[in-house]
Structure formats: structure tokens, C-alpha cells
Amino acid sequence: MVFDDRGILDGVSFRINAGDKVALLGPSGEGKSTLLRVLMGLVKPLSGNVVINGMPLEKVLDEWRDISFMLSQRSHLFRRSIRENLIMAKEDATDEDIEHALKVVDMWERVLQWGGIDKVAYEDFQPSGGEKSRLLLARGVLRNPQVLILDEPLEGVDKESEKEVIDRIKEFAKDKTLLVVSHRLSILAMADIFATLENGKITKVGNLEEHEKDSLLRKYISAEKQMTEKFWR
Ligand SMILES: Nc1ncnc2c1ncn2[C@@H]1O[C@H](COP(=O)(O)OP(=O)(O)OP(=O)(O)O)[C@@H](O)[C@H]1O
Ligand SMILES: [Mg+2]
């Protein structure tokens, strides 16, 4: 993968089985979001390919997009009603489906305070960063895909709400394939397989035990521990 003559991803190879819960982690600007875009067929690698169930991605792109959903870091909440913002993920969704999706992301009560799902974002109400993140996530819940791909899904969400939503998304994704990208350990912990992306390559894929002391995942965990310890001095 090359952007502006600069190599981003090179020699990336990994496999995800149906039902796996995988977290992808790595430094900022390393190419995580780019990798997800390759996976969704939004950018084409210069060489190599994505294989879905043994078929090259471009041959099964429509089917793949039917069964998968990616919440990208660039996902946008439109100046439209909450209903319209959500049903773009599932056109035949009922009001009950929408209510359910909003409950999963812990936004139902707030939406009622705003006056219901026909209220228009940025006109009738001004969502905070965390509220916006959760409304976008509700889009993915409504879609109910077999493969759920989340790129930094809970940006701006406070810790208490984050815990609540993570628990519910874990339950929601129980029978699905989940690929999640985040810098937050609480979100990475939704997965049980961790893939580290470093210098354009996947350097390790495995469960927590398989990530030995000098793995990037362990480094992140000890860095977070050191940072939170400062509060208890
Ligand atoms: N469309 C593009 N054109 C040019 N450069 C791009 C484009 N998209 C991404 N890049 C560059 O590719 C690199 C990887 O970007 P990417 O968004 O994949 O990183 P990331 O690992 O998701 O980072 P973060 O953790 O900050 O989200 C960055 O240096 C970015 O500037
Ligand atoms: Mg990114």
C-alpha cells in the first residue's frame, strides 16, 4: 500500500476466521484504518489480495458488503433526523429496531430527552462527541451484520458509559465476527485475539498469553498502568 510514494502497508498477511473477535492495534498513522479500508474494498492494494471465504474480494464485493459493516473513523452524522441517520444502514428497519439499537448504545433516554427519533442532528439537538460516536455505532447495531468492523468506536464517550456500551456490544457481537481498532485498552479487551501492526507489517497475532513481554500489546498495558498509577500517589 503506497500513499504519496510512501509505503504504508507492506507484506501484511493475516487470517480471521468466522466468529473470531480480533483487535488490531498499533501506533497512530501506522495504517490500521487503511488496512480496514483495504478489507472493505475501498482502496486496492498495489499487490496482494483480500480473500473472503476462499474468493477474491473483488469477485464477492456485493455479498461481502451485504454481510459486513464498518464504522470508520470518518463516519459522519448527517444534518438529518436520527431515524434517517440510522436507517441508511438498514432501510426496512422499524421504529422498534431503531429503539433497540439506541438502547444497545445507551442513547435511548437521551434521544427521548431530545424529543424522539425524528429530531434533526445539529438543528433540533447538538450531539456531544460521545453522543455522536454512540449514534454512529447504533447504525452498525441496526444493520446487524455478520461481520462488524469498528474503527475507534467510542471516541469521546465517558468511562461509565463506555463500560456499559462495551458490555452490550460484546453481547451483541457474540455470534458475529468482530474486528475492532482502538488505542483504548478497554475497547481492545472486547477481543480475545490481538494483532499488532508495526512498520507496515502485522508483527504478532495471538491471545493475551501469546503476546510476550516485549509485544506492543504488553507495552500498551504497562504504559496505561503507569499512567493510572500517577493518580494514587
Ligand atoms: N487517502 C490518503 N492519502 C494519502 N495519505 C493517506 C491517506 N489515507 C491515509 N494516509 C496516510 O497513511 C498513513 C496511515 O493512515 P491510517 O489512517 O491508516 O493510520 P491509523 O493507523 O489508522 O492511525 P490512527 O491510529 O491515528 O487512526 C498516515 O500517515 C496517513 O497520513
Ligand atoms: Mg485510524
Tens of each residue's pLDDT in the chain, 233 residues: 455 556 678 878 889 999 999 999 999 999 999 999 999 999 988 888 899 999 999 999 999 999 999 999 999 999 999 999 999 999 999 999 999 999 999 999 999 999 999 999 999 999 999 999 999 999 999 999 999 999 999 999 999 999 999 999 999 999 999 999 999 999 999 999 999 999 889 999 999 999 988 899 999 999 989 988 888 77
Q: How many CA atoms lie within 13 A of 217 on its CB side?
A: 28
C-beta 3 within 6 A of ligand 1: yes
- What are residue 205's phi and psi, to 5 degrees? -130, 125
Domains in the chain, number? 1
From the CA of 43, give the closest atom in ligand 1. 1
C-beta 36 within 6 A of ligand 1: no
C-beta 5 within 6 A of ligand 1: no
Taking CA atoms only, the protein residue closest to ligand 1 atom 1 is 3
pTM of the model: 0.93
C-beta 182 within 6 A of ligand 1: no
What radius of gyration do the chain's Cα atoms show? 18
Q: Which of 24, 25, 28, 30 to mutate to test the pocket of ligand 1 (most atoms within 8 A of CB)?
A: 30
Measured distance CA(156)–CA(44) in Å, rounded: 31
Domain extent, residue 60, equals 2-232
- What are residue 23's phi and psi, to 5 degrees? -110, 135
Measured distance CA(146)–CA(232) in Å, rounded: 43
